[in-house]
């Protein structure tokens, strides 16, 4: 079994817990103006990540601050590429201006979900990121369109969510459903450890699906997010497993 686990968190979104979460995680995905974030928050979050040795990632989304990037937006291919390019380059330049570097890109919200199931959107995203000619990892969902199209083009980090329930087709349970989120720390650990050790997820329907994840996402806007990640540290430490970079 691997002796370290990699945990990532979406930060710089205006949440209350960034400073408490940053020392507990391996990588942060920083909002770069699409659904949240501005120049000030990007600079501040990059500096915080560097202070704690946390990997810095761009977290682009549909340009939809009103709905926090959680709704599908109809956009032309050119407009979508320009939006993603602008968001990623903005964070990349800020990271470099602070003496750091961009290590990865992870899509946000509806764009993440659309690229997982829509081959055309996945293609547009990959073409846009390839055009940037930058060397970074790409965080992708397990068994997704973007992971299959991106194979061989990017260093892919397969991601599982520790605080979200799954359907048996690998999609996340819609946030419109009452059982979309997992907020009990024991249940979060149960899901994460199942993927980490057994390489499988117990879905909301009771089916088990195979999943081999390189990184686990915990959401920063969960009210108990700090308590949950501290609990994961404790439980993994009991099994001789550390959290990377902490």
What are the extents of the domains in the chain?
A: 4-164+214-230+239-243
How many Å separate Cα 188 from the centre of its chain? Answer: 16
pLDDT on residue 223: 84
- Would you say residue 2 has pLDDT above 80? no
Facing residues of 201 across strands?
209
Give the pair of three-digit tokens for residue 158.
């397969």
Average pLDDT of the chain to the nearest whole number = 96
pLDDT on residue 133: 76
Give the pair of three-digit tokens for residue 229.
């990640």
**Which CATH code, of 3.20.20.70, 3.30.300.130, 3.20.20.370, 3.40.630.190, is assigned to 4-164+214-230+239-243?**
3.20.20.370
pLDDT on residue 135: 86
Q: Model confidence over 190-234: pLDDT tens digits?
A: 999 999 999 999 999 999 999 999 999 999 988 899 999 999 999
| Residue 72 · residue 20 · CB < 8 Å | no
Give the pair of three-digit tokens for residue 227.
């308590």
Q: Model confidence over 93-124: pLDDT tens digits?
A: 999 999 999 999 999 999 999 999 999 999 99
d(CA 133, CA 92): 12
Give the pair of three-digit tokens for residue 104.
């990865």
Mean pLDDT of 128-140: 91
Q: Model confidence over 12-62: pLDDT tens digits?
A: 999 999 999 999 999 999 999 999 999 999 999 999 999 999 999 999 999
Tell me 195's DSSP state.
I
Mean pLDDT of 75-88: 98
pLDDT on residue 1: 56
d(CA 159, CA 154): 15
- Would you say residue 242 has pLDDT above 70? yes
d(CA 160, CA 7): 10
Exposure of 165 in the CB half-sphere (CA atoms within 13 A): 19
């Amino acid at each position: 079994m691997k002796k370290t686990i990699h945990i990532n968190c979406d930060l710089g979104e205006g949440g209350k817990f960034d400073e408490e979460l940053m020392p507990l995680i391996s990588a942060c995905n920083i909002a770069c103006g699409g659904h949240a974030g501005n120049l000030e928050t990007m600079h501040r979050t990059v500096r915080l990540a560097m202070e704690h040795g946390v990997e810095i990632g761009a977290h682009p989304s549909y340009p939809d601050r009103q709905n926090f990037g959680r709704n599908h937006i109809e956009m032309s291919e050119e407009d979508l590429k320009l939006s993603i390019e602008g968001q990623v380059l903005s964070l990349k330049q800020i990271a470099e201006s602070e003496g750091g570097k961009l290590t990865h890109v992870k899509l946000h919200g509806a764009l993440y979900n659309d690229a997982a199931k829509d081959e055309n959107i996945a293609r547009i995203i990959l073409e846009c990121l390839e055009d940037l000619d930058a060397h970074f990892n790409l965080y992708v969902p397990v068994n997704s369109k973007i992971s299959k199209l991106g194979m061989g083009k990017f260093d892919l980090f397969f991601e599982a969510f520790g605080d979200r329930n799954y359907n048996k087709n690998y999609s996340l349970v819609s946030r419109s459903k009452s059982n979309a989120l997992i907020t009990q720390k024991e249940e979060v650990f149960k899901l994460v450890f199942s993927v980490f050790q057994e390489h499988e997820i117990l879905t909301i329907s009771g089916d088990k699906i195979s999943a081999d994840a390189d990184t686990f996402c915990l959401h920063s806007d969960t009210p108990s997010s700090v308590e949950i990640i501290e609990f994961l540290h404790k439980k993994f430490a009991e099994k001789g497993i550390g959290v990377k970079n902490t």
